[in-house]
A and B are shown apart, each in its own frame.
Chain A
């Protein structure tokens, strides 16, 4: 008979060395006696450390990591039996869920997972005032040796205040930077008054619906053993006792007459939410956050009401964002030149963008334009429709694919569909965005593109001018 001593609690390292040693010596489970000792046998440790690693399926290693946390004294023996059988002809043993040992280990694994989950759910922090700064302390009694598995959750959730978790099997303290370990703790005095703790108990009382009382179901989910350390659980007996009477009085009470007048007009107003004017709409747009992190301000459309043409671009650029006006950057200059050439006065047209905020990536000090996604354009689409319905242009020009998408409600290929197009309620023209001309490197080709752009603008001007009566 071989006796193996491991540290109290979840001694994964000790177990690993033991398994290496037992495997080299080919010791069967029947010959091993597992014991827990505060000062485990050091000879075995040395031998185990030297023994070569044992090759096992990854699933077995994961299972072992959890099973060693279980409080069952047989946990190491069970794992050893499993590993022995896997190494002696039953490689796929873990897949045989119906096998008694696999089944028992799987229930143990579930029990540990449940305990970890319960700790995350039912642990309560109490505020301890500490010379102006806040500290939180919790007392929890886990069923298994789960601290190392369960506590990292609290670190990722509560990194920005100091807390301590005290348990009968050890303590963990968080000081904003690191987690430190402490030995088994005593239940601390947590009776100090905390308004929010009282408010929580009140909340618990109020959110309970007496007409649905089902104590069994509550206890199945939240076992009584946790109640002692949960402040709200103190309210349970009184809630259960009073439930039947509360329901009876609700059922018995006849419906009372309303003492409220019927606010017909207010009700009507409440659902009429469309802004009443362009100013109202613009105020909403101005006050709203960009849908993706970006520009400082919403760049609104500008120009007269009821114009012959409304031009819709893609989104404001760097200069537009800084000045708060549409088409004032390099592309705006190309646009202005083309308008002049086509004989359109900019101050007589309405100019706006499909997307109202500048989207960019920062490269050094420069803010590089980023194309809005289809989804982002759609976020703004409702605003654009409302805006145009106030402005009432005769014709709408989509400058580039983003504007065409916003207006047509479907992807538009500029090269194929350039020219006149009807957007739901407006006659329109699809053309390129003037920034395209800036990106054409060959100057001859750029001239050609500029000319085509001007030609499109002329078409727009023609379509929007009052038709000569036939």
Chain B
């Protein structure tokens, strides 16, 4: 090997950075046993942020970026001319332990290109996790990117050591997958997710360890022609059918040595941001796909305003709401009011009638919320009917944020 461990780290970190997921949350709380290393608080910690604003929580690397597959959106596809490298199991273990001891990371997020066979690759990844847990008493977070083509028994083994398993669905539509990732098979991916879902549920029931932080996935945005609603529908299916903890959206980003069949342009970051907001509304604000269809135009979310505001502007008849009386699920639909603010409003209004000043103290989104709210001293009927309401709430320069 002409490469040192540290040279390889540069190649294999660069190769791994297009995976959006970095969360270290959801693991059972635990402390290091005597002689061991690591703990988990359940909430996850971001140990640094890079200038792209993304968090560094886990050491996110590939075991190798050699790959037999040729997925056109991927920097590591076999036809790409990027430099290649490969870690040994022990090298990954060493890096994880040394970084962890310096408090740089919460744990490891290991993925890999497929070499030799799906089983061989998956087994090597599983061995890293097993070695960390068994030989080093490592109680930090381990996320393994599973290979759906690997034998079921390997997934069963991986879940014994990892906090989270994930399989990327990559593209929202099967047709796109066929075109852009010819070696991948949507049915195989879904089958493996189904198997993990079942094991995770059983283990929880029987109080055993099996990927206790659940499973997650990633969908690439902007590499195919899927609309936002296509994406959100497939997420709803993933949350519902496969009980995923998270669906990550990753704006397709220009890569060095790009494939000729993909758009070469800046990543659609604004679109990614709006999808995350919509996803959040689905999971935490009791919005349905139908509501989001209303909020969108031709299946695409408005890039200039958040989907909750977009929905409210199209349903002005349901507003204004009286903060001192409205039901919780309706208050959750007010633009600018978060879950926390709504709970505080409900708790406060039991003891006093709320005025505009109170809402200002409780919610940083006060300005956006007020046209939709009635308080003891404020009634916005005039504002709510104005044609230029949208411009008054969001001055047009907002877009630049994601330029």
Q: Could you tell me which A residues sit within 8 Å of B by CB distance?
A: 92, 95-100, 103, 117, 120-127, 136, 138, 153-154, 156-161, 195-200, 202-218, 221-222, 230, 232-233, 236, 239-240, 243, 247, 250-251, 253, 255-256, 258-260, 262-263, 266-267, 269-274, 284, 288-289, 291-292, 373-376, 378-379, 382-383
Q: B265 an interface residue at 8 Å Cβ cutoff?
A: yes
When C-beta atoms are compared, the residue in chain B nearest to A263 turns out to be B68
A-B contact pairs, 10 of them (CB 8 A): A97-B348, A98-B344, A98-B359, A103-B361, A157-B37, A202-B9, A204-B48, A207-B17, A208-B52, A271-B118
CB within 8 A of B51: which of A195, A214, A267, A376? A214
> What separation, in Å, do the CA atoms of A373 and B53 have in the docked complex?
45
A203 contacts across to B, CB distance below 8 A: 9-10, 13, 59, 99
Question: Out of B9, B69, B102, which one reaches A127, CB within 8 Å?
Answer: B102
Chain A residues lying within 8 Å of B35, measured Cβ to Cβ, are 159-160
**Does the CB pair B52–A218 fall under 8 Å?**
yes
Contacts of A125 in B (CB 8 A): 101-103
Residue of A211, A250, A258 with most chain B CB atoms under a 10 A cut-off: A211
* Bound: A208/B253 CA distance, A: 12
Q: Select A215's contact among B41, B51, B344, beta carbons within 8 Å.
A: B51
Tell me which of B52, B104, B203 has the highest count of chain A C-beta atoms within 10 A of its own C-beta: B52
B194 within 8 A of A: no
Task: State in angstroms the CA–CA spacing of A161 and B254 once bound together.
Answer: 43
CB distance from B382 to the nearest CB of A (A): 25
Which single residue of chain B is at the shortest CB-CB distance from A205?
B10
* Complex interface: stretch among B152-160, B166-174, B303-311: B152-160
B160:A289 contact, CB within 8 angstroms: yes
Checking B6, B101, B254, B362 against A250 with a beta-carbon cut-off of 8 angstroms, the contacting residue is B254
Interface membership of B282, Cβ < 8 A: no
Q: Which residue of B lies closest to A117 (CB)?
A: B45
| B391 within 8 Å of A (CB atoms) | no
Which residues of A lie under 8 Å from residue B153 when comparing CB positions? 284, 288, 379, 382-383
The residues in B between 110 and 166 inclusive whose CB is less than 8 angstroms from any CB of A are 114, 116-119, 130, 137, 149-153, 156-157, 160
- Closest chain B residue to A154, Cβ basis: B103
Question: Which B residues are in CB contact (< 8 Å) with A122?
Answer: 47-48
Of B73-81, B241-249, B291-299, B325-333, the segment with at least 4 beta carbons within 8 Å of chain A is B73-81
Q: How far is the CA of A212 from the CA of B273 in the complex (A)?
A: 12
Q: Does B399 contact A (CB under 8 A)?
A: no
Chain B residues near A259 (CB-CB < 8 A) = 81
For the complex formed, measure the closest distance between the CB of A324 and the CB atoms of chain B, giving whole angstroms.
Answer: 20
Q: State whether B358 touches A98 (Cβ < 8 A).
A: yes
Contacts of B305-339 to chain A: CB distance below 8 A = none
Could you say which of B119, B202, B358 contacts A375, with CB atoms under 8 Å apart? B202
**CB–CB B102/A270 < 8 A:** no
B57-116, CB < 8 A from A: 59-60, 68-70, 78-81, 95, 98-99, 101-104, 114, 116
A267 to B79, CA, bound (A): 13
User: Looking across the interface, which residue of chain A has its beta carbon closest to that of B160?
Assistant: A291
B222 nearest CB across to chain A (Å) = 12
Q: Taking the complex as formed, is B350 at the interface, i.e. its CB lies under 8 A from any CB of chain A?
A: yes
Give B189-211 interface residues, CB cut-off 8 Å to A. Answer: 198-199, 202-203, 205-206, 208, 210
Assess the A214–B52 pair: CB atoms within 8 A: yes
B53/A207 in contact, CB under 8 A: no
Chain B residues lying within 8 Å of A292, measured Cβ to Cβ, are 208
Q: Which residues of A contact B39 (CB under 8 A)?
A: 153, 156-157
Q: Which residues of A contact B31 (CB under 8 A)?
A: 156-157, 159
Contact B117 A270 (CB under 8 A): yes
Contact A103 B53 (CB under 8 A): no
Give chain A's interface secondary structure class.
helix
How many A-B residue pairs have C-beta atoms within 8 angstroms? Tell me.
259
Check B278 for interface membership: any CB of A closer than 8 A: no
Is A136's CB under 8 angstroms from B52's CB? no
Nearest-Cβ distance from residue A44 to partner chain B, whole angstroms: 34
Given contacts A95-B350, A209-B52, A217-B49, list 9 more A-B pairs with CB under 8 A: A156-B39, A203-B13, A207-B16, A207-B17, A208-B52, A211-B267, A251-B254, A291-B156, A379-B156
B166 to chain A, nearest CB (A): 18
Cα A215 to Cα B401 in complex, Å, equals: 11
Which residue of the partner chain, among B18, B98, B260, contacts A209 with CB atoms under 8 Å? B18
User: CB distance A250 to B51 under 8 Å?
Assistant: no
B258 near A: Cβ within 8 Å?
Answer: yes
Specify which chain B residues have a CB less than 8 angstroms from the CB of A124 in the assembled complex: 102-104
Please, which residues of chain B bring their CB within 8 A of the CB of A291? Answer: 156, 160
> Given A221-B46, A256-B257, do A247 and B32 touch, yes or no (CB 8 Å)?
no
The answer for the CA separation of A230 and B56 in the assembled complex, in Å, is 13
Chain A min CB distance to B147 (Å) = 9
- Whether A218 lies near B49 (C-beta < 8 A) is yes
Q: How far is the CB of B114 from chain A (nearest CB, A)?
A: 6
Give CA–CA (A253, B51) in the complex, Å: 24
Task: Let me know if B50 and A239 touch, CB within 8 A.
Answer: yes
Verify if B212 is at the interface (C-beta below 8 Å from A): no
Q: A153-B41, A160-B36 are in contact. Are A271 and B149 (CB under 8 A)?
A: yes
Cβ A267 vs Cβ B183 within 8 A: yes
Distance, CA A73 to CA B348, complexed state (A): 28
Interface status of B175 (Cβ within 8 A of chain A): no
A378 to B13, CA, bound (A): 36
Are A232's CB and B257's CB within 8 A? no
A207 touches B151 (CB 8 A): no
B359 → A minimal CB distance (Å): 8
Q: From B36, B52, B98, B351, give the contact of A95 (CB < 8 A).
A: B351
Q: Is B14 in contact with A239, judged by CB distance below 8 angstroms?
A: no
Most buried by B among A207, A250, A258: A207
- A273, B79: Cβ atoms under 8 Å? no
Q: Which residues of chain A come closer than 8 Å to B117, judged between CB atoms?
A: 269-273
Which A residues are CB-close (under 8 A) to B203? Answer: 375
* Contacting residues, chain B, for A373 (C-beta < 8 A): 202, 206, 208
Q: Chain B residues near A138 (CB, 8 Å)?
A: 103
Cross-chain contact A270 with B68 (CB below 8 angstroms)? yes
Answer yes or no: B54 CB below 8 A from chain A CBs. yes
Docked CA distance A221–B68 (Å): 38
A207 contacts B183, C-beta separation under 8 Å: no
Q: With A98-B348, A211-B254, A251-B264 known to touch, is A222 a contact of B49 (CB < 8 Å)?
A: yes
Report Cα–Cα, A45/B370, bound state, in Å: 50
- Asked if A195 meets B351 with Cβ closer than 8 Å, knowing A158-B101, A255-B257, the reply is no
Instruction: Please state if A207 and B51 are interface contacts (CB–CB under 8 Å).
Output: no
Interface presence of B354 (CB below 8 A) = yes
Q: Does B300 contact A (CB under 8 A)?
A: no
Q: What chain B residues lie within 8 Å of A210 (beta carbons)?
A: 52
The A-contacting residues of B in range 345-364, CB under 8 angstroms, are 345, 347-348, 350-352, 354, 358-359, 361-362
Assembly CA distance A221 to B56 (angstroms): 11
B259 engages A255 (CB within 8 Å): yes
Query: Closest approach, in angstroms, between the C-beta of B346 and any C-beta of chain A?
Result: 9
Closest Cβ neighbor of A275 among chain B residues: B151
Closest A residue to B402 by beta carbon equals: A214
Query: Does the CB pair A250–B48 fall under 8 Å?
Result: no
B118 touching A200 by the CB < 8 A rule? no
The distance from the CB of B65 to the nearest CB of chain A, in whole angstroms, is: 12
A127 to B97: give the CA distance in the assembly, Å.
13
Q: Which residues of A contact B79 (CB under 8 A)?
A: 258, 260
On whether the beta carbons of A209 and B54 are closer than 8 Å, the reply is yes
Q: Across the two chains, which residue of chain B brings its CB closest to A379?
A: B156
A213 CA / B13 CA spacing, docked (Å): 17
How distant is the Cα of A267 from the Cα of B67 in the complex, in angstroms?
Answer: 9
Do the beta carbons of A202 and B102 come within 8 Å of each other?
A: no
- B99: nearest chain-A partner, CB-CB: A200
